[in-house]
Amino acid sequence: MSTLKLDLQTYKDLMKQYIETQNEQALYNAEQFSKHSIQQNISPDEIINVHFQALMELYPDVPDDIRNSMNFLLETMISYGLAYQEYQALREKQLELQSELSVAAKMQQTLLSTVKPEYNQLDVGATSHPAKQMNGDYYHFVEDQEGSLGIAIADVIGKGVPAALCMSMIKYSMDSFPEKRMEPSIVLEGMNRVVERNVDPSMFITMFYGLYDTKDNRFFYSSAGHEPGFYYSAKEDTFKDIEAEGLVLGVDRDTSYKQFEQQVDPGDMIVLLTDGVTECRSGDDFIEREEIAEVIRHYKHLPAQEITDQVYSHFERLQDFQLRDDFTLVILRREV
């Protein structure tokens, strides 16, 4: 960038050059001048004033009528100048908010981080992507001393900061449960009481809790109004919904949750997700649940983590890389 001085003399020289030559170079200089002015937060009314003064100096005999018309123009531009300054101030504020938010998002990632467990007979994959900077989805793995794997997946209805704040609370409540084997129905009943006590009634949280017993490959689960996952049977090569009715968290303090059980055979997959996955859209249409099953089937030869990543990429592309809701997908597959 050239170093233009933003003063009356420079403007006058540039204007004179243009009046004499009317060439493109002079106009290019004008463009540079305005860009520099914007960088220096110079508002449009000031440019008008400089133009006015330059005109007077170059042509001292400008008729009074023209002089007055310049004053008139100046007057009309004052409000534009104000609007411009307000825009600048709001822009700065927005940048500030954005950097604050990205710090918060990083903090949240640390808070909600969970260690993906490693088992010989169980292949685990998990991915979670927020629609905005902060995530209103949550998944968490809990390994207990008796060789069982607990999987929590939850979704706050809504997104952005309020949902994320709510999610942090869920995470801490989960952490406060004892480390011994927890029955899914007991976990959800406990969480229901926490949410009922602490969360605004206008906020809804759905949650699914599953417990995989690695000794006999049985999967126990309960759901609090959560989007049903899929159970993939390798023998039949079919997907079926993991149905488990249950009220969303926080509605009624005394809700009890039914617990279900599923025998898991080698090659079978448990697919858990949030409604950010099922409410993906292509154009204006919601995708069908069968489509998700088909995409998973397409990648089923890959390791579980790669399946979740590929499915996410698929739907991210389908939605033009703009998620409408937080997207979380967890896949467990029995290997042997």
Q: Of 34, 85, 98, 238, which lies in the binding site for another protein, with binding defined by CB under 8 A?
A: 85
DSSP one-letter string for 133-193: SS--EEEEEEE-TTSEEEEEEEEESS-SHHHHHHHHHHHHHHHTS-SS---HHHHHHHHHH
Residue type, 123: D
Q: Which stretch binds another protein (CB under 8 A): 46-54, 122-130, 166-174, 187-195?
A: 46-54
Give Cα 251 to chain centroid, integer Å: 27
Closest contact distance (angstroms) between CB of 93 and another protein is 7
Joined together, the tokens standing for residue 160 give 């952005």
Choice between 77 and 211, CB closer to another protein: 77
Q: Which of 252, 259, 249 is nearest to 170 (CA)?
A: 249
Closest contact distance (angstroms) between CB of 159 and another protein is 23
Give dist(CA 282, CA 61) in Å, integer: 66
Q: Which of 127, 137, 67, 119 is nearest to 308 (CA)?
A: 127
Q: Which stretch binds another protein (CB under 8 A): 88-96, 173-181, 198-206, 312-320?
A: 88-96
Window 187-226: contact mask with another protein (x via CB under 8 A): ----------------------------------------
Q: Does 282 bind another protein (CB under 8 A)?
A: no
Closest contact distance (angstroms) between CB of 16 and another protein is 21
Closest contact distance (angstroms) between CB of 81 and another protein is 8
Q: Of 58, 90, 95, 97, which lies in the binding site for another protein, with binding defined by CB under 8 A?
A: 90
Joined together, the tokens standing for residue 65 give 């009528």
Q: Does 86 bind another protein (CB under 8 A)?
A: yes
Q: Does 82 bind another protein (CB under 8 A)?
A: yes
Applying CB under 8 A, the site for another protein has a residue count of 16
Closest contact distance (angstroms) between CB of 34 and another protein is 18
Q: Which stretch binds another protein (CB under 8 A): 19-27, 87-95, 156-164, 310-318?
A: 87-95
Q: Which of 327, 333, 320, 332 is nearest to 278 (CA)?
A: 327
Contacts of 124 (CB under 8 A, 6+ apart): 116, 117, 118, 141, 149, 304, 305, 330, 331, 332, 333
Closest contact distance (angstroms) between CB of 43 and another protein is 9
Q: Which of 146, 136, 246 is nearest to 189 (CA)?
A: 246
Closest contact distance (angstroms) between CB of 96 and another protein is 13
Q: Does 83 bind another protein (CB under 8 A)?
A: yes
Window 49-78: contact mask with another protein (x via CB under 8 A): x--x------------------x--xx--x
Give Cα 326 to chain centroid, integer Å: 6
Q: First vs last Cα of the chain: how many Å apart?
A: 65
Q: Are 224 and 251 in contact (CB under 8 A)?
A: no
Half-sphere exposure of 30 (CA within 13 A, CB side): 15
**Cα torsion for 312, 274, 140, 173, to the nearest 10°?**
150
Closest contact distance (angstroms) between CB of 62 and another protein is 14
Q: Of 19, 38, 58, 89, which lies in the binding site for another protein, with binding defined by CB under 8 A?
A: 89
Give dist(CA 273, CA 265) in Å, integer: 21
Closest contact distance (angstroms) between CB of 184 and another protein is 47
Q: Does 47 bind another protein (CB under 8 A)?
A: no
Choice between 88 and 102, CB closer to another protein: 88
Residues that bind another protein (CB under 8 A): 45-46, 49, 52, 71, 74-75, 78-79, 82-83, 85-86, 89-90, 93
